[in-house]
Structure 1
Amino acid sequence: MSPTSDLLAAALAQSSFHPRLSQQRRLYEAAKAAIHQQRLGAGSKLPSSRDLARDLGIARNTVIAAFEQLTAEGYVSSVRGSGTYVADLHAHTASMRGAGGPAGRNAARDARSTGAAGSTGATLDMVESAATVGMQPPRLSRRGRELTRQAAGPRFEIQPFAPGDADFSSFPFKLWQRLQNRVWREARGDLLDYGQSGGHLPLRQAITEYLRLSRSVRVEMEQVMITAGTQQSLDLCAQLLADAGDMAWIENPCYWGARRVFQARELKLHPITVDGDGMALKKNDLATRPRLIYVTPSHHYPTGAVMSLARRRELLDVAVRKDAWILEDDYDSEFRYTGRPLAALQGLDHDDRVLYMGTFSKVLYPGIKVGYLVVPPALIAAFRSALYDLQRPGQLTVQATLAEFIAQGHFTTHIRKIRQTYGARRELLRRMLLQHLPRDVSISSEESGLHLVIELPDHVDDVALAQHIATERLSVKALSTYYLKPPARRGLLVGYAYCTPEQITDHGLRLGALIAAAVRP
């Protein structure tokens, strides 16, 4: 057996391959890895397909197919009458870069920065190393650097008290599966296509009725667009209603996801202070001219403030005078634990200036990725066209299942059940925290949403405190990080939906003690 056959036989004997991977694919992967790792050096001659098949105990056709794949991808080259040889990948990379071009200059710069001139693996190593330690990978755009400067994903890992996370373990899995199986049994071809008309018609009809009855939204079915959630709804609005450099009024503090979308579309952000009555417009705010106004009037995120009727009317009037669009994010209106849900701002709009959006990710489960956007009549054609052209929406079988879930009354039942569950957990968490918190620490009293806000004295560093609490495997968020400009209030966002009563009892006492220790001089 040749040395090359020995090397490939050892690689094939590894147990890391997926059990369903074909023999031909295993041989291809083993050879490719050996070439990348330079265990098969450039110019090395491979055994003939007949000899390698004999040495490895596999069919010759399997070897030929693997060689053909390696040849097609440039890993090896065949010389008629001579054999198959490993290609010089490094020489190919160097010729592609060129000493005088931008890529060549980048390669030289990368080599200098690592102290290894001519090292062709430097750029890939730098990227992998940057990803590992959280550094900024090279060659991103200015916008890309800004968007990835603070990655949101790791901060939102589900742990006890993570704000905004719902307890999707209470989702009626078997019921949903039964409805979904029924949809698949119907074998409707139209549900396998892209959504070309703003979403599955029965779901849009169900949402229309739901919004009319529960949220006092003034809506016809044609105005409802099914999206992949609030982020996509916001992105569509930013693309269709504003240009780069236009101004967007946002709440201060503000939902981080909205900020990211507007930054990605290169909008100029103008933060407006939120007090107990919602967005509070000042003289200097009114001197600017926004194109978009983003608000969470029914339950401000993250403070929980409810926008007063006077402020709502003022905002609608300002939008008309300044020719601006209001983006109303009604992200958790279902979770109001006393009284009826508040009416939407959109229901007061008689000038068609409000675009209303909601999501099913909070009330069902995050991964469903189904939301809705209600647009004014004049925007229906443009938004329907852009939704199809830019997003190619699909998941119509999921939309059909959700339509049945709503139409049969299961959605209302589910909301009623989890509202009672979350309300009880909220009260339990308050009781646990109050056993330790000193008097100069207050807890929000707004009976809605999925988190409490613990307001801290100014001398407490809420960011450092949140990081310290994370070492105890508890996830809370610092209120000050949601602000774009001072004055930033100090506090913690503490979720309660994703905790069982037993966890709240245990972890709530620990959390209260940690906060009390940080507050005491």
Structure 2
Amino acid sequence: MKPISVDLLAQRLEAERKARPDGAINRMLYECLRGAIHDASLPAASRLPPSRDLAAQLGISRNTVMHAYEQLMAEGYAKGLTGSGTYVADRIPDPPSLPRAAMASTHGAPAVAARLSRRGRQVIDKALAQTRQWGAFMPGLPDITQVPQQKLAKIVARLARSQSPAMLSYAAGGGHPALHRSLAVYLRQARSVVCEPEQIVVTEGVHQAIDLITRVLGDPGDTAWVEEPGYWGTRSVLEINGIRLKPLPVDAEGMRPPPGDRPAAQAPRFAFVTPSHQYPLGAVMSMSRRLDLLAHAARDGTWVVEDDYDSEFRFAGQPIASLQGLLPNAPAAQVIYVGTFSKTLYPGLRIAYMVVPASVATAFRTAQSELYRGGHMLMQAALAEFIDSGLYAAHIRKMRLVYAARRAFLIALVQQWLGADWIHEYDTGAGLHLVLALPEGMDDVAVTEACAAQGVLVRPLSRYYLGRRRRSGLLLGFASVPQEQMLAPFEIVVRCIRQAVPA
């Protein structure tokens, strides 16, 4: 059987011969082999094709191949083993250095930046996602070690033994019908969402849901109301789709819509809100604000996108119903409800969902199939069974108690080491993080970097603002940190804060 490496070398040698028709064939073959070794197409310690076979496949003389192999061995790229053949060396020499001009043209930052689109540069320049996603005090991260993986894995394994071909194909129709049915029941009971299974569209995360919403319902140049401060991920997706952002301030009652009437030309196309637990400050949108926002939407034809962030984890008081369920029968109430399994189970699952009005449900399912060609049907079917069995609700109840205890412990640390007034004034008994309100003028980005240098992950509050008026603070996620592991990293946070106090 012809090894795949022969096809690789044949392709590269043909390209070299076209580029340098007068070049020496043995030199070109040597350079193709050396390049394949450097880029690991021919891995370290792997066996090179026998010289006779490679010559026959490439249509060149065996002496040419042997000459290239000998050159590789002379330079330390390969070794010959008597009676076994020629092998790539265990340790590869460093690649030859390129001339300075060539390096500038191929690897220099200005050249790379010039090849990016304006949208691409915008995403890269404003990127806030962290490379490390686990540890104290990473915000927005659940305790993934507590997920009942064995129970979920048993469901997946059983379904995998009898799955149909459709389960291994693309996820047309907005996801698996079983998950649609299970979510419809769960959302009615747990979140007072009014919906039928046909209104649910399963997506690969909230970011894809927002991207799909803006592509199906918005055009470049449309305006979106967003919370100030608000989730940077939502802003990034909107901006790259050409949506203009209008930040609206957040107070103790949530996002504050502007008062009074406005010309139709100034009406926003979208309003993105986190009413149950405002991200990042933690406020709960009051009933008067909710009704005011729905009234704006009905009058202006605005699509309200409700990101039900952290709604499952409320530790005091009565559960807060969804915004979507307030006016279920109003024809002009254009509310899209967005939820995810990232916080209730684990982010790597990459399964979120939307509840869209029935009038646009078919359009959303069609657009999703056209744009993203989703999959994960087996996991979606397993999730449906996981929900129907009661295991999902039981896990949420268990983690609600775990997170409440961790939150209380972190609050006690803040009160003991800094004082109760350091906890942000809009904080409510919910969610997976706390916000520390830093003294005015303190550089929260510098504090964040100082913490990161010592292995502690926090987020600067100022980066969640769009405008110039920014409040300094730190987001501390407590969900993934057991109480017995909190003190040491918290001491680092306190030390970095105290070192940042101006003299």
Tell me if both proteins adopt one fold, taking TM over 0.5 as the criterion.
Answer: yes
Matches within 5 A, 1:362-441: 362-438=343-419, 441=422
- Please, which of 422, 426, 431 is the counterpart of residue 449 of structure 1? 431
Q: What do residues 451-490 of structure 1 show as CA deviations (whole Å, max 9, x unaligned)? A: 0011122121111111122222111111111000132111
Compute the displacement of 1:169 (Å).
1.1
Q: Distance in 2 between matches of 1:359 and 1:335?
A: 13
- Give the partner amino acid of 1:241: L
Q: Distance in 1 between matches of 2:28 and 2:468?
A: 70
| Residue 293 (str. 1) matches residue 262 (str. 2) | no
- Describe the SS at the equivalent of 1:435: helix
- Give the partner amino acid of 1:229: G
Q: Distance in 2 between matches of 1:510 and 1:161?
A: 11
Change (3 A) 1:58 1:359: closer
Compute the displacement of 1:183 (Å).
0.5
- Give the partner amino acid of 1:361: S
Q: What do residues 264-315 of structure 1 show as CA deviations (whole Å, max 9, x unaligned)? A: 1011111000111011123599563210111001111000011000000000
- Give the partner amino acid of 2:140: G
Change (3 A) 1:29 1:489: same
User: Is the Cα–Cα contact under 8 Å of residues 55 and 62 in structure 2 kept in the other structure?
Assistant: no
Q: What do residues 169-226 of structure 1 show as CA deviations (whole Å, max 9, x unaligned)? A: 1111211111111101113222112122221111111100111011111111111111
- Please, which of 473, 476, 483 is the counterpart of residue 458 of structure 2? 476
Compute the displacement of 1:142 (Å).
0.7
Q: TM-score, normalised by structure 1?
A: 0.78
User: Is the Cα–Cα contact under 8 Å of residues 168 and 377 in structure 2 kept in the other structure?
Assistant: yes
Q: What do residues 236-281 of structure 1 show as CA deviations (whole Å, max 9, x unaligned)? A: 1100111001111111111011001101101111100011101112
Compute the displacement of 1:505 (Å).
2.5
Tell me what 1:324 maps to: 302
Matches within 5 A, 1:138-177: 138-154=114-130, 157-177=133-153
Tell me what 2:86 maps to: none
Tell me what 2:90 maps to: none
Q: Distance in 2 between matches of 1:319 and 1:472?
A: 47
- Please, which of 446, 459, 462 is the counterpart of residue 444 of structure 2? 462
- Paired-residue identity, %: 38
Q: Distance in 1 between matches of 2:261 and 2:234?
A: 19
Change (3 A) 1:408 1:374: same
Tell me what 1:11 maps to: none
| Residue 346 (str. 1) matches residue 324 (str. 2) | yes
Compute the displacement of 1:516 (Å).
4.0
Bigger RCO of structures 1 and 2 (CA < 8 A, at least 6 apart) = 2
Compute the displacement of 1:42 (Å).
4.6
Which aligned segments of 4 or more residues in structure 1 are displaced greater than 4 angstroms? 25-37, 56-62, 78-86, 114-117, 283-287
Compute the displacement of 1:151 (Å).
2.8
- Describe the SS at the equivalent of 1:272: strand
User: Is the Cα–Cα contact under 8 Å of residues 444 and 460 in structure 2 kept in the other structure?
Assistant: yes
- Describe the SS at the equivalent of 1:336: coil
User: Is the Cα–Cα contact under 8 Å of residues 24 and 62 in structure 1 kept in the other structure?
Assistant: no
User: Is the Cα–Cα contact under 8 Å of residues 278 and 309 in structure 2 kept in the other structure?
Assistant: no
| Residue 310 (str. 1) matches residue 301 (str. 2) | no
Tell me what 2:490 maps to: 508
Between 466-475 and 382-391, report the one with greater CA deviation: 466-475
- Describe the SS at the equivalent of 2:394: helix
Matches within 5 A, 1:270-281: 270-281=246-257
User: Is the Cα–Cα contact under 8 Å of residues 245 and 266 in structure 1 kept in the other structure?
Assistant: yes
Q: TM-score, normalised by structure 2?
A: 0.81
- Describe the SS at the equivalent of 2:145: helix
User: Is the Cα–Cα contact under 8 Å of residues 435 and 512 in structure 1 kept in the other structure?
Assistant: no
Change (3 A) 1:187 1:513: same
- Describe the SS at the equivalent of 1:211: helix
User: Is the Cα–Cα contact under 8 Å of residues 433 and 509 in structure 1 kept in the other structure?
Assistant: no
User: Is the Cα–Cα contact under 8 Å of residues 479 and 490 in structure 1 kept in the other structure?
Assistant: yes
User: Is the Cα–Cα contact under 8 Å of residues 423 and 434 in structure 2 kept in the other structure?
Assistant: no
Tell me what 1:197 maps to: 173
Compute the displacement of 1:139 (Å).
1.0
- Describe the SS at the equivalent of 1:346: coil
Change (3 A) 1:463 1:367: same
User: Is the Cα–Cα contact under 8 Å of residues 293 and 324 in structure 1 kept in the other structure?
Assistant: yes
| Residue 257 (str. 1) matches residue 233 (str. 2) | yes
Q: Distance in 2 between matches of 1:500 and 1:264?
A: 38
Q: Distance in 1 between matches of 2:154 and 2:62?
A: 63
- Give the partner amino acid of 1:511: V
User: Is the Cα–Cα contact under 8 Å of residues 437 and 473 in structure 2 kept in the other structure?
Assistant: yes
Q: Distance in 1 between matches of 2:198 and 2:104?
A: 54
- Give the partner amino acid of 2:248: I
Q: Distance in 1 between matches of 2:282 and 2:262?
A: 24
| Residue 214 (str. 1) matches residue 190 (str. 2) | yes
Tell me what 2:480 maps to: 498
Q: Distance in 1 between matches of 2:381 and 2:55?
A: 47
- Give the partner amino acid of 1:126: G
Q: Distance in 2 between matches of 1:297 and 1:505?
A: 32
Q: What do residues 409-461 of structure 1 show as CA deviations (whole Å, max 9, x unaligned)? A: 11011111111111111111111222221565334541111100111221211
Gaps of 5+ in 1: 1-21, 69-77, 87-113
Q: Distance in 1 between matches of 2:364 and 2:299?
A: 24
- Describe the SS at the equivalent of 1:454: strand
Compute the displacement of 1:46 (Å).
7.0
Tell me what 2:3 maps to: 24
Q: Distance in 2 between matches of 1:187 and 1:164?
A: 34
Q: Distance in 2 between matches of 1:370 and 1:259?
A: 20
- Give the partner amino acid of 2:177: L
User: Is the Cα–Cα contact under 8 Å of residues 436 and 516 in structure 1 kept in the other structure?
Assistant: no
Q: What do residues 307-361 of structure 1 show as CA deviations (whole Å, max 9, x unaligned)? A: 0000000000001111110011012111111234310000113233101010001
Q: Distance in 1 between matches of 2:221 and 2:431?
A: 33
Compute the displacement of 1:511 (Å).
2.1
User: Is the Cα–Cα contact under 8 Å of residues 361 and 370 in structure 1 kept in the other structure?
Assistant: yes
